[in-house]
Structures are given as C-alpha cells and as structure tokens.
Amino acid sequence: MGWMFDNVERLIDRLRKPAHQCEPLTTDDPTTALRRTLQPADVLLVEGKGRLSSSIKYITQSSWSHSALYVGPIWGATNGGEPHVLIEANIDEGVVSAPLSKYLHCHTRICRPVGLSDADREQVCRYAFERIGLSYDFKNVIDLVRYLFPCPFTQRWRRRTVALGSGDARRIICSTLIAQAFNAVRYPILPKVTHMKNKSGRCDVAEIRHSSLYAPRDFDLSPYFLVVKPTLSAGFNYKTMCWADLEVDAAQATLAPEIERAIAAVV
C-alpha cells in the first residue's frame, strides 16, 4: 500500500496550487472584525480556494476546507509585528501557529463552544499549543476520503476505515487536532448518541467519535457550537445601511432646487 500513499501525496502536492482568490463578505476590515470578535477556543473555519480545498469541500459536501483554533496572542510568535493567534495543521508545515492576516482574503466562519468554562478553555488552547511541531498525517486524509467519499463502496471495505490515520502520534490533520483538544475536556462536537431505557425512564448516552473521523464542517454542524458573525456581534443596525438607489434619489432631491433656479434665470 506504500506506493499508493506516495502517489496520493504527490497528487495532493499538485492540488495545493491556488485556483483563484476570494474576498470576504464583510464591508468592515476583515482582520479587524475577526480580531474584535474571536475568543480563545473559538474554531475558525476557512473556505479555501485551492484545488485541494475544492476537493475537500466536494468530498465533505460543505463550504469549509480548513479549520484553525484561536488561542490568542502567542508570546514570541509574530509575523511582521503581527502576533500569531491561531494554531492549525497544514500540509506544508504540519502543526504551526499563524496570524489572522493569513486568511484576510478568505471567507471564514467562527464556531464558538457554548458554556465552556475558563479552565477548560485554557486547557483546550494549551493542548493545541503543545502539539506545535507535529507533522501532517497524509494517510488520515486518504482514509477520510475513503470514509466520506459519496461512492457505493462495499461495506467490508468501508468498515476498514474505522481505525483512521497513520497511527503515528507525531502526525495529525487540522480537524483532528481541534477535535482532540476538545476531547481532552470532554466537550462534545458530534458524538454518537445511543437512546437507552432503564427503570427511571429514557436516557441518552453519548460516545466520543474517533478524532480522525472529523472534518472542518463538523464544527459548523455541531449543535454545541454557536456560529458567531462579526458584523452582527458588533451591533448591526440595518437602518444605517447606505443603499445606492437611495443615495441617487437623495442627490437628485438636493440638486432639484438648483436646477429649477437655473431654468427660471434663463427664462
């Protein structure tokens, strides 16, 4: 199987080339808006535009191809004077820290864990920070494709995907890194829930999924994460919007008296 993984790695390397740029959907400065809104342990989802990102979005049937954990300013880690505040796992470097400006030209979404205590929030961030330097797990990507790809594979072949990844603790992918960080404090993402009945009635028993089964979209789908939009959290008021057609009407109304006076003078 080694030859197959080598070939897939070479294919992934070619797919990393960007397809086209994208622009954020906010009228505010995107970096300022994100910095004002993000809190430690928030998950930042990214809609990448590279060929590999497009493949991930197709396979996972979502808009999100990458995820990063916001931990706040990391002492000693800067990029041109800008502090690194994200921890992520990417193909080029493995687990690294990064500044917000890295995703300045990407569509993003903030997913915030609800009710997470300050102590657990700190532990989630520390867990991710301690894994900086790990390598990227290419085999996990291949196995995740096998698990999620919308194709009628045999049940026997799909069952072999239960144990995902290389099994090497020194290798990891972006969504697995964040899933493990939340699993460390037993915060749910998309647990498997079993309905059970006992003498006192019905109860739901949650079971933590294998961290390698998670994709970036799962933080968006999770009922335990709140989607936070910077424009709304800053206090949006639709009455203050400047509409192009209303601006034209207002300009015409302002010029109308002057036009009338000019006509009267000529007459």
pLDDT digits (tens, 9 = 90+) for 185-214: 999 999 888 877 776 767 778 788 888 888
pLDDT, residue 161, reads: 47
Residues of the chain with pLDDT under 70: 1-31, 51-52, 141-170, 199, 201, 247-267
What pLDDT was estimated at residue 246? Answer: 74
Q: Residue 247: what pLDDT?
A: 67
| Residue of 148, 144, 191, 181 lying closest to 166 (CA atoms) | 144
Strands 43-47 and 107-113: antiparallel
8 A C-beta contact, residue 50 and residue 161? no
Could you give the 3-state DSSP secondary structure of residue 255?
helix
| 158 DSSP assignment | H
Residue-level pLDDT at 19: 46
Tokens of 117: 């205590």
Q: Do residues 34 and 16 touch, judged by C-beta distance below 8 A?
A: no
Residue 239 pLDDT = 84
pTM: predicted TM-score of the whole model, two decimal places: 0.75
Domains of the chain, CATH where assigned: 2-234 (3.90.1720.10)
- Per-position DSSP letters for 103-157, written without gaps between them: GTTSEEEEEEETT--HHHHHHHHHHHHTTTTPEE-HHHHHHHHHHH--S---HHH
Report the 10 Å Cβ neighbour count for 245: 7
Starting at the edge strand found earlier in the chain, the sheet holding 225-228 runs 94-98, 86-90, 66-70, 43-47, 107-113, 225-228
Packing angle of the helix pair 51-60, 138-148 (nearest 10 deg)? 40
Name the percent of the chain in helix, strand, coil, to the closest 5. Answer: 40, 20, 35
At 237-246, the pLDDT tens digits run 888 888 877 7
